[in-house]
Chains A and B, each alone.
Chain A
Amino acid sequence: QVQLQQSGAELAKPGTSVKLSCKASGYTFTSYYIYWVKQRPGQGLEWIGYIYPGNGGTYYSEKFKGKATFTADTSSSTAYMLLGSLTPEDSAYYFCARRGYSAYYWYFDFWGPGTMVTVSS
């Protein structure tokens, strides 16, 4: 069955970086987009962007350009998001989600459990 396993909670200092992982299983990793979504505690969902592991192509929301960097390791079916120059505003849950499809339809059919990132000195 399809699963997305995300790495554990991170506590980081301002100005540093963290690299979050999203390990996929149960499907062909290179055939589906992986999206990343931010959610600050008690707040709504914010779209960060996506990576297509099949060719490494990426797209970032303007707000996250320079903040987030997506990579994918096809040998381990794992997607990564590097968050750099951390500030307290980066403290949030970060979800990865698979962009599934059926015929012409697309949707987020599987989500990871989320990784909590706390930025504090």
Chain B
Amino acid sequence: DVVLTQTPVSLSVTLGDQASISCRSSQSLEYSDGYTYLEWYLQKPGQSPQLLIYEVSNRFSGVPDRFIGSGSGTDFTLKISRVEPEDLGVYYCFQATHDPNTFGAGTKLELK
């Protein structure tokens, strides 16, 4: 199975700071069709996960432009510029290139 390694495990920030989360895959996530099925989800406390980014860098409808996804192959990053209170929670990367699909272990974004 593909292992997604997220770092850091937790991230303490001050509101308005930039945050950066890494997701490293044990195999390339580029599919034979040329697309890379790497997504980012945020799970706020007590809620279901919500989609932020799909196909590495595409923001889902309604997601603020302070969320920026990047990367290729095996290395991916989610950057949040100017963290706001509603951004707090656990971030997961997810790959759907290989079966079984897998989630990263999560990165908890919290206030300093």
Q: Which residues of A contact B (CB under 8 A)?
A: 37, 44-47, 49, 59, 61-62, 95, 97, 104-109, 111-114
Q: Mark B18-57 against chain A: 1 for CB-CB distance below 8 A, else 0.
A: 0000000000000001010101010100001111001100
Q: Chain A's interface: helix, strand, loop or mixed, by majority?
A: strand
Query: Are B96 and A106 in contact (CB-based, < 8 A)?
Result: yes
- Minimal beta-carbon separation of B97 from chain A (angstroms): 11
Nearest 7 Cβ contacts at the A-B interface: A111-B48, A107-B54, A61-B100, A45-B103, A44-B106, A47-B101, A44-B105
The residue that A104 contacts in the complex, of B33, B39, B99, B101, with Cβ under 8 A, is B33
Number of chain B residues whose Cβ lies closer than 8 Å to a Cβ of chain A: 27
Q: In the complex, what residue of chain B is closest to A45 when comparing beta carbons? A: B103
Query: Are B103 and A107 in contact (CB-based, < 8 A)?
Result: no
> What 18 new A-B contacts, CB under 8 Å, besides A45-B103, A113-B48?
A37-B49, A44-B92, A45-B43, A47-B103, A95-B49, A97-B49, A105-B35, A105-B54, A105-B55, A105-B58, A106-B54, A107-B39, A107-B55, A108-B39, A108-B49, A111-B48, A111-B49, A114-B48
